[in-house]
Structure 1
Amino acid sequence: MKFKLALASAAFALSAGAQAQTAWDLPAAYPATNFHSVNLASFASDVDKATGGKLKITVHPGASLFKAPEIKRAVQGGQAQVGEILLTAYQNEWQMFGADGIPFLATSYAESKKLYAAQKPILQKKLAEQGMVLLYAVAWPPQGLYSKKPVASAADLKGSKWRAYSPATSRIAELVGAQPVTVQAAELSQALATGVVENNMTSGATGVDSKLYEHLKFYYDVQAWLPKNAVIANKKAFDALDKATQDALMKAAADAEARGWAASEKVNTDTLATLKANGMSVEPPSAALKSDLQKVGATMLQEWLGKAGPEGQQLIDAYRK
């Protein structure tokens, strides 16, 4: 009898422990080796340790659980409790999501952090309205121009197949006379191998992840913008956590944000060196190309302000203070 009682007590203890543990899934679009994904893994580990195993986050990199465009909806609808999204991809939904994708608005880490500081309060408010919580955001390295052929000015891009992954990248293609082709990061290598894409504006990090040097020979360090990835949580799932777990989660998020920005800067230096080491020509843009792209940026800022209205103007004014 005592033996049976002991077994029952042990089973109850195990059951109580299982009930006390909360499991979250975190879908992400980029490979496990990408610095954002590495940071997510560290974040999940920090949360596990800080909560004593009460909250366990499983990271699903490489679009293995949901494809990039599906992640925000999955978190919003509770199919995933937390996820990582590229903010600029959702500009058509709400213009403020695309602020960090306006070419030549913020072109350094210092400027990008300043833009994020202006953007963060309105991001938090919007996501809360949509049933989500902003945990943290980290910038990609500055976006450069990859091409199969040398590019001396925007005229050299006319008629070429340009990889688009957001409304902003599609619009740049249109303004330089290129043909936008929508390709997400996970399919980029294949698109290049099959000739679907000839030009691409992305970071050195994605260039190394996708081995762009196998297909494209020229990289121009135009530092067009620094788009951000944001890690967002489902608000109901967040609210269901006890206060101590919420606090531990937000502390781990703040640490991940600081670590992620530092990693981004290091990755920028390292990946450009890797591109060069693999035979890619890495050069600053010519004066003509820089001037052409700055005109594109000025046009796109005015277009964005026209769509964003007073809210957009307030954001730009706050950023430029």
Structure 2
Amino acid sequence: MKYKTKYLVPAIVAASMIYIPTLQANTSWMMATGYPDNSFFTQNLREFVAEVEENSDGQIKIDMRSNGTLVSHDEIKRSVQRGVVQLGEIRLGAYSNEHPVFRIDSLPGLAVTYDEGYRLNELLQPYYEKVMAEQGVLPLAYVSWPGQGFFADKPIESTNDTDGMSIRIYSQPTQKMAQELGFNAMVLPFSEVPQAFSTNMINSLFTSAQTGIDVQVWDYVEHFTYTGTMHNINALIINPSALDALDDELQQVVRDAARNAHERGWEMSQARSTENNNVLEEQNITVTQASDELQVAINDIGEEILAEWRQSASNEANHIVDDYIEWRDRAE
């Protein structure tokens, strides 16, 4: 599948400019991401860095640190806002308490395929940009997580299987979904998942296969029940002052590389989704598709969560979701 961006984030709609080296002094940036080197998110960002450095003739150098070694995952957005680092990658849903727009990609059942997730993100991009501009950051690219599912020591086929289970989730919508399904749900940072399993704080996990691999979930459970449910979004963000300090030609180098990272990232995510299931099976994780009964329960809960979200969201955000649902229903 080839993804083509309608809103080439942000202001990337301008035609690519031929880069002509100038006398501008070399620029050195720091970049932080919380994911390990084997994550496709990290691999995609390394290609972004290489492209920026090559096409700027070395006038822009980016020191990228992965796996939270420079800044902890939860502090990346604040660090970019304050200019402690110039670039970072964040998961939008981690900031759902700051603004309703950051909860949209975590609404169960709203966008369950890559095509749906891409279209929803496409419509949301101008609104994301406006909200984040007020927070002092500028989004450059967005990449989808693979679809979600339940890691546990048994298959999750219905709400009858969740009694007494403690699960780690990562956002307000997924917490409500898990609670309604009968789990004891708790929000924990990505970095705390292994310890939570080791100390029996949790015995299940709702996430993508990618996260399961990143935390080597096979050390704790034996089953992955794939539901789809949502395609969460990561964003590559930059401190606006850092970008503005570049001349127009170098700014375009960064924007072009970000556009390529955006398109490449969606392709990598979809390819990795299939590969990840194979990796899990190689580690003796049994991968199954969710039952119709479980999917119906999730979708019913999703409708309730969407109705609650609408009450806190702006008219503009509601109109965007309405436009998306109209498109989705026509496409079915």
Q: TM over 0.5: same fold?
A: yes
Q: 1:227 aligns with which of 229, 232, 246?
A: 232
Task: Give the CA deviation at 1:188.
Answer: 1.7
Deviations 1:40-96 (A, max 9, x none): 111111100011111111111111122222111111111111110001111110111
Query: Is residue 180 from structure 1 mapped to residue 185 from structure 2 by the alignment?
Result: yes
Q: 1:287 aligns with which of 292, 299, 324?
A: 292
Task: Give the CA deviation at 1:253.
Answer: 0.4
Query: Is residue 237 from structure 1 mapped to residue 242 from structure 2 by the alignment?
Result: yes
- For 1:161 and 1:50, how far apart are their aligned partners in 2? 49
Structure 1 stretch displaced more, 120-129 or 261-270:
120-129
Query: Is residue 167 from structure 1 mapped to residue 196 from structure 2 by the alignment?
Result: no
Aligned 8 A contact 1:81 1:237 in 2: yes
Identity of counterpart residues, as a percentage?
33
- For 1:88 and 1:191, how far apart are their aligned partners in 2? 21
Aligned to 1:310: 315
- For 1:139 and 1:218, how far apart are their aligned partners in 2? 23
Q: Which runs of 5+ in 1 are unaligned?
A: 1-16
> What does 1:62-77 align with in structure 2 at a 5 Å threshold?
62-77=67-82
Aligned to 1:257: 262
> What does 1:104-143 align with in structure 2 at a 5 Å threshold?
104-143=109-148
Aligned 8 A contact 2:32 2:88 in 1: yes
Aligned to 1:148: 153
The structure whose residues are more often helix, as a share, is: 1
Task: Give the CA deviation at 1:19.
Answer: 8.0
Aligned to 2:15: none
Report the residue type matching 2:58 in the other structure. Answer: G
Q: 1:99 aligns with which of 100, 104, 121?
A: 104
- For 1:234 and 1:309, how far apart are their aligned partners in 2? 26
Aligned 8 A contact 2:150 2:156 in 1: no
Larger radius of gyration: 1
Task: Give the CA deviation at 1:152.
Answer: 2.2
Report the residue type matching 1:92 in the other structure. Answer: N
Query: Is residue 192 from structure 1 mapped to residue 197 from structure 2 by the alignment?
Result: yes
Task: Give the CA deviation at 1:146.
Answer: 1.1
Deviations 1:278-312 (A, max 9, x none): 11111111222111111121111111111114233
Aligned 8 A contact 1:20 1:54 in 2: yes
Aligned to 2:90: 85
- For 1:264 and 1:193, how far apart are their aligned partners in 2? 29
Describe the SS at the equivalent of 1:172.
Answer: helix
Number of positions where the alignment pairs a residue of Structure 1 with one of Structure 2:
305
- For 2:280 and 2:69, how far apart are their aligned partners in 1? 26
- For 2:83 and 2:218, how far apart are their aligned partners in 1? 39
Aligned 8 A contact 1:154 1:293 in 2: no
Task: Give the CA deviation at 1:18.
Answer: 12
Aligned 8 A contact 1:134 1:231 in 2: yes
Aligned to 2:17: none
Report the residue type matching 1:83 in the other structure. Answer: G
Aligned to 1:42: 47
- For 1:18 and 1:30, how far apart are their aligned partners in 2? 36
TM-score normalised by L of structure 1: 0.91
TM-score normalised by L of structure 2: 0.88
Aligned to 2:212: 207
Describe the SS at the equivalent of 2:308.
Answer: helix
